[in-house]
Amino acid sequence: MQNKEKKSQGWFINAYEKYEDIVSIGLTGLIAVIVLIAFIRLTVDVYQMLVIGMLDPLDHKVFKHIFGMIMTLLIAMEFKHSIIKVIERKDHVVQVKTVLLIALLALARKFIILDIKTMNPGNLAALALSVFALGIVYRLVRENGSSAREK
């Protein structure tokens, strides 16, 4: 009886892993398309800025726009990389540390493109508190992971 139960559980686990693979591959494909479109858009903007001279790279708004696009691409590529690790079965789930780092990158991007003149002080404080909290959680997760490996 127990052997039969293990076989049925094994089948379910294998089927679910295949399902996860299909969803992960689909997500990776969608993110790859989004990254490609964003890269093309970034390339066109930089081309216009440098070659055609339509955009002034010293203009603060233009610089923030371009740098914000670069940061968005980096965030998307890191997200895609974490999904690929799941597909390759290096990690069975998307790691908490990776999600925390992506969130910190997104908040760093927000601070970079932020217009202080129009920012509400309460919103700025909330963003700062979010970065602080995510930093603490990341450190706790990292320390917990390293102490678990030592055991």
Which residues touch 142 (CB under 8 Å, ≥6 apart)?
97
pTM of the predicted protein model = 0.68
Using only C-alpha atoms, the chain has a radius of gyration, in whole angstroms, of: 21
- For residue 9, pLDDT beyond 70: no
Place 80 in a pLDDT band, splitting at 50, 70 and 90. confident
pLDDT score recorded for residue 41: 92
- Interval 48-79: pLDDT, tens: 877 777 767 677 777 788 888 888 898 888 88
- Interval 89-129: pLDDT, tens: 665 555 788 888 889 989 988 888 888 788 888 988 999 99
Distance CA 113, CA 64 (A): 5
